[in-house]
Amino acid sequence: MQFRTTIWRHQSLEKLKPKFRTYTLGVVVASASRFHVAQNLFDKSPDRVQENHTSLLFGYSRDGRTQEATRLFLTIHRSGAEMDCSTFSSVLKVSATLCDELLGKQLHCQCVKFGFLDDVSVGTSLVDTYMKGSNVKDGRNVFNEMKERNVVTWTTLISGYARNGSNEEVLKLFMRMYKEGTEPNSFTFAAALGVLAEEGVSGRGRQVHTVVVKNGLDKTIPVSNSLINLYLKCGNVGKARILFDKTEVKSVVTWNSMISGYAGNGLDLEALGMFHSMRLNHVRLSESSFASVIKLCANLKELRFTEQLHCSVVKYGFSFDQNIRTALMVAYSKCTVMCDALRLFKETGLRGNVVTWTAMISGFLQNDGKEEAVDLFKEMRRKGVRPNEFTYSVVLTALPVISPAEVHAQVLKTNYERSSTVGTALLDAYVKLGKADEAAKVFSSIDDKDIVAWSAMLAGYAQTGETEAAVKMFSELTKGGIKPNEFTLSSVLNVCAAASASSGQGKQFHGFAIKSRVENSLIVSSALLTMYAKKGDIESAEAVFKRQGERDLVSWNSMISGYAQHGEAIKALDVFEEMKRQKVKMDSVTFIGVFAACTHAGFVEEGEKYFDIMVRECKIAPTKEHNSCMVDLYSRAGLLEKAMEVIDNMPYPAGSTIWRTILAACRVHKRTELGRLAAKKIIDMKPEDSAAYVLLSNMYAESGDWGERAKVRKLMEERKVKKEAGYSWIEVKNKTYAFLAGDRSHPLKDQIYKKVEDLSRRLKDLGYEPDTSYVLQDIDDEHKEAVLAQHSERLAIAFGLIATPQGSPLLIIKNLRVCGDCHAVIKLIAKIEEREIVVRDTNRFHHFSSDGICSCCLGPQDIHLPSRTLHLGFCAQDQNERLLPAGARKIVRTKAYLSSSYLGANCGKQ
């Protein structure tokens, strides 16, 4: 019987032509799929000619049977048989497939020995071997030494650079190839278009597209797929769809490109539609098809469809594919079905790779399973699976279950400390624990700091309030040539919202945002709004809010809280009503701002109404913060019985903040017994908290019980509890100055006290009488007046008046509440000096206008609320306001008497 075998004769890989020679051996070998028969015939053949073993070796190489090919080459080599260029070209392809650099170098030496380097096919195969082994330098050297190059040689080098991420070099080579007169083929164009897609360069991509059309290669499958991929990755989905529709022969890669491209552009439903069309066109699904669609289900949290796809995966025989299994685990995790995800993991997880373990750890963390995630991470280490940078990044989010210091030690051992991904996650973990110094050390160790790492470090400084360090870091970032993005600017603007930050810095960064054209970005505009509100410029905050094209919940909440803190209760409630009209979903923070607005304005009934809306309409369960707000609302209004009802009905014990509110109210309303109870509760919970001792002491002092006051003071001394000193800060010419009561440390102390005396004289001429009840010391009235005149905020204002131009506004920051006497004095100073004065204490902002009116003073006006109209005529801040008629001291409201004396006393003693 005769058989026919194929012998390949070629001078280059472009000119491969089969020739046939017939032997009589009794069996027919017709295809490369039956190489075991060919091998037997080869072994039995008495005339093992060169063409026979070359043909067999080429077949092994083409079919990816690397072990058989290597074994055959060694057999030929040891037998001393003659070898030609085709033999080495074939075995070099095997070396490239194995990415075996050592084998490639040995073959390179043999090629030099036999003088085959001048053959274009051998040189091309050598280039391919080195490039696939990531040895770009030697691959380029071989290419440069080649006397003859063809389109396959150029394409091999270009593809190698693309595979190794040298995108710029790919484009240079492509242009050089064109200039030297070598016409690119479809695979060359595909490689170049792939690089342009990764770079997101649509302009140059369109130019290459034009050349492709000119060369008539736009209909070939590799180029068509690459063009579709290019436009999808550049966000031009419409153009990609046009090309897809025009493609006559669509491979499974074409369909997969469209599905993953739609998903990459956030068009998940369109991607699912494309998958449905793929099924209708009877295209056989590949592993990539299933992996892409399962990822879509994870994004959309489509459990039912995920289960259907899981069944199809089993039907198609892909159930053991690691990528598909991992995708299914992620989908089940995102659909909160951790039992199914865990079942899949147990089937292959213990034998799985690091990606599988990382996916499972991430799944537990997404479903609030921090303990399970950390246990799995430890099990992973015990099983000998080495975590990668993504594993460390994920597990570091499991605070406080996991210790960043322990993970940091493992990171150092595995040499990941310089990775930007791991470093950013590690510094973020330290920041959340308040360890900014440790975070800074990690940041400095990162080699290639990307914008995410810079933003994370800036966010850390914002959290810890380290303004100077944050501003310095932002300056280093810009000098280093890194362009800040909206997240970076948001972080640095949050830093500028701190009390210690300069008011001018925030405006400078606002200007930077405008210059960078990101001021309209939602995250930046929300940060600007918050920054202006916290720095006392509510008008600028309002302007930013009105300019916002779109608003998220942070914007709405910031505006409500800002208005509340600045005494603009009506505007705060108007914003809330606008939220309701626009059907914006509210959260717990929204109502904290609303309750604060009602509290500062004394709107008790409105506060009760909004509390009912929160529970009944918005279905938000009251938290400790909400109950604390309601206690504050009732306490300020003197409704202590209602405040105690709230405390008694809470499902958890009241904290020290709530009892401190009760104690402050008891001091004002002379409820000594209840105040003593509140003080005991606070001291039992926080023996080191000076506020309880001070409030109780002041309560006894106001009632004239100096003996009990002395006992409280003695208890403080025994327990070494120190009263917090009252500081006031003022910024002048970008420098911040701090003042204590009676402070004489300032270089301009003589001018400051001279100004204080001048102001005291002018105030007395207007009829001002000091309210010495705010001095809780057993001294005579004359000394009490001197103590009042030297309160820290008055010294700061006096310095501001002499250090700034006439008519310029002043901003004072105080760490304690402003006392009622100072509040009355500042109103008069603002009037006689014709200045706008803003004072921020621990409770709120006070805007004193040049007319002598404070934002917390509700002058005679009609206030229109959704429920009714109120006519108010009182000052909500001053306890003994001299400028109001006696009849306006107490205002009768619909169901409650609002004590103006309490509202003033809530500012606290110096």
The pTM is what? 0.66
Return the percentage of the chain with pLDDT > 70, whole number. 82
pLDDT at 389 over 70: yes
CA distance 614 to 605: 14
Neighbour count for residue 715 (Cβ, 10 Å): 15
CA distance 456 to 258: 34
- Give the pLDDT band of residue 864 (cuts 50, 70, 90): very low
Q: What is the pLDDT of residue 890?
A: 30
- Give the pLDDT band of residue 435 (cuts 50, 70, 90): confident
Contact 245, 233 (CB under 8 A): no
Owner of token pair 């700034």 = 804
- Who wins on pLDDT, 865 or 315? 315
Q: Which residue type, as a one-letter code, is found at position 559?
A: M
Contact 807, 835 (CB under 8 A): yes
* Sequence-distant (≥ 6) Cβ neighbours of residue 680 within 8 angstroms: none
Contact 783, 772 (CB under 8 A): no
CA distance 414 to 182: 47
The stretch 842-848 carries a mean pLDDT of 87
- Who wins on pLDDT, 500 or 31? 500
What tokens appear for 586 in the block?
């509210």
- Phi, psi of 780, deg, nearest 5: -75, 165
Characterize the bridge pairing of strands 897-899 and 845-848. Answer: unpaired
What element of type H or E holds 727? strand 727-732
Q: What is the pLDDT of residue 63?
A: 63
pLDDT at 606 over 80: yes
pLDDT at 804 over 90: yes
CA distance 426 to 596: 37
- Who wins on pLDDT, 836 or 36? 836
What tokens appear for 91 in the block?
């075995």
- Give the pLDDT band of residue 787 (cuts 50, 70, 90): confident
Would you list the DSSP string of 477-533? HHHTTPPP-HHHHHHHHHHHTSTTS-HHHHHHHHHHHHHTT-TTSHHHHHHHHHHHH
Owner of token pair 């048989």 = 81
What secondary structure letter does DSSP report for 613? Answer: I
Half-sphere exposure of 732 (CA within 13 A, CB side): 16
Q: What is the pLDDT of residue 17?
A: 35
CA distance 673 to 678: 9
- Give the pLDDT band of residue 596 (cuts 50, 70, 90): very high
Q: How many residues does the chain have?
A: 910
- In angstroms, how far is CA 427 from the centroid of its own chain? 13
The stretch 110-129 carries a mean pLDDT of 78
Q: What is the pLDDT of residue 60?
A: 66
Contact 699, 675 (CB under 8 A): yes
Angle at 782 between CA 777 and CA 787, to 5 degrees: 55
Would you list the DSSP string of 112-173? HHHT-TTSHHHHHHHHHHHHHTT-HHHHHHHHHH-S---HHHHHHHHHHHHHTT-HHHHHHH
CA distance 211 to 230: 15
Q: What is the pLDDT of residue 97?
A: 67
Contact 743, 795 (CB under 8 A): yes
- In angstroms, how far is CA 234 from the centroid of its own chain? 24
The stretch 484-499 carries a mean pLDDT of 87
Lowest mean pLDDT among 224-233, 373-382, 576-585, 596-605: 224-233
The stretch 667-696 carries a mean pLDDT of 83
pLDDT at 622 over 90: yes
What tokens appear for 137 in the block?
């330098």
- Give the pLDDT band of residue 226 (cuts 50, 70, 90): confident
Contact 486, 524 (CB under 8 A): yes
Would you list the DSSP string of 432-453? HTT-HHHHHHHHHH-SS--HHH
- Average pLDDT of the chain? 79
* Sequence-distant (≥ 6) Cβ neighbours of residue 738 within 8 angstroms: 727, 728, 729
CA distance 71 to 77: 10
What element of type H or E holds 810? strand 810-814
Contact 752, 746 (CB under 8 A): yes
What element of type H or E holds 17? strand 17-24
* Sequence-distant (≥ 6) Cβ neighbours of residue 369 within 8 angstroms: 338
Owner of token pair 């000193």 = 725
- Who wins on pLDDT, 544 or 841? 544
Comparing CA positions, the residue from 677, 801, 811, 799 lying closest to residue 750 is: 799
Q: Which residue type, as a one-letter code, is found at position 750?
A: D
What secondary structure letter does DSSP report for 416? Answer: -
Q: For residue 761, give Cα distances in angstroms to 376, 749, 773, 806, 807.
A: 74, 18, 20, 20, 21
What tokens appear for 18 in the block?
């089969």
CA dihedral defined by 568, 574, 580, 583, rounded to 10 degrees? -90
- Quick: pLDDT tens for 140-171: 888 888 888 888 888 888 778 777 777 677 77
Q: What is the pLDDT of residue 31?
A: 41
Which residue ranges form the domains of the chain, and what is each CATH number?
449-550 (1.25.40), 551-643 (1.25.40), 653-724 (1.25.40), 727-910 (no CATH)
* Strand stretches in 616-697, DSSP E: none
β-partners of residue 812 are 730, 839
pLDDT at 591 over 90: yes
* Sequence-distant (≥ 6) Cβ neighbours of residue 445 within 8 angstroms: 417, 418, 423
pLDDT at 888 over 50: no
Lowest mean pLDDT among 58-62, 157-161, 193-197, 374-378: 58-62
pLDDT at 132 over 70: yes
CA dihedral defined by 208, 268, 421, 168, rounded to 10 degrees? 0
pLDDT at 683 over 80: yes
- Give the pLDDT band of residue 571 (cuts 50, 70, 90): very high
What element of type H or E holds 5? strand 2-9
CA distance 415 to 413: 6
Q: What is the pLDDT of residue 572?
A: 94
What secondary structure letter does DSSP report for 617? Answer: I
Characterize the bridge pairing of strands 837-840 and 810-814. Answer: parallel
The stretch 1-7 carries a mean pLDDT of 34
- Quick: pLDDT tens for 54-77: 677 666 666 666 677 667 777 777
Angle at 585 between CA 579 and CA 586, to 5 degrees: 75
* Sequence-distant (≥ 6) Cβ neighbours of residue 844 within 8 angstroms: 564, 565, 566, 567, 600, 856
* Sequence-distant (≥ 6) Cβ neighbours of residue 889 within 8 angstroms: 874, 881, 900, 901
- Quick: pLDDT tens for 336-367: 999 999 898 888 755 678 888 999 999 999 99
What secondary structure letter does DSSP report for 616? Answer: I
The 3-state secondary structure of 826-837, one letter per residue: HHHHHHHHCCCE
CA distance 360 to 387: 13
CA distance 349 to 359: 10
CA distance 363 to 737: 51
Q: For residue 364, give Cα distances in angstroms to 55, 330, 390.
A: 54, 10, 15
The stretch 133-142 carries a mean pLDDT of 81
- Give the pLDDT band of residue 391 (cuts 50, 70, 90): very high
What tokens appear for 854 in the block?
């404070």
CA dihedral defined by 759, 762, 767, 771, rounded to 10 degrees? 20
CA distance 693 to 622: 30
Neighbour count for residue 661 (Cβ, 10 Å): 23
pLDDT at 575 over 90: yes
Q: What is the pLDDT of residue 350?
A: 54
Q: What is the pLDDT of residue 500?
A: 74
What tokens appear for 846 in the block?
């006070």
- Who wins on pLDDT, 698 or 615? 615
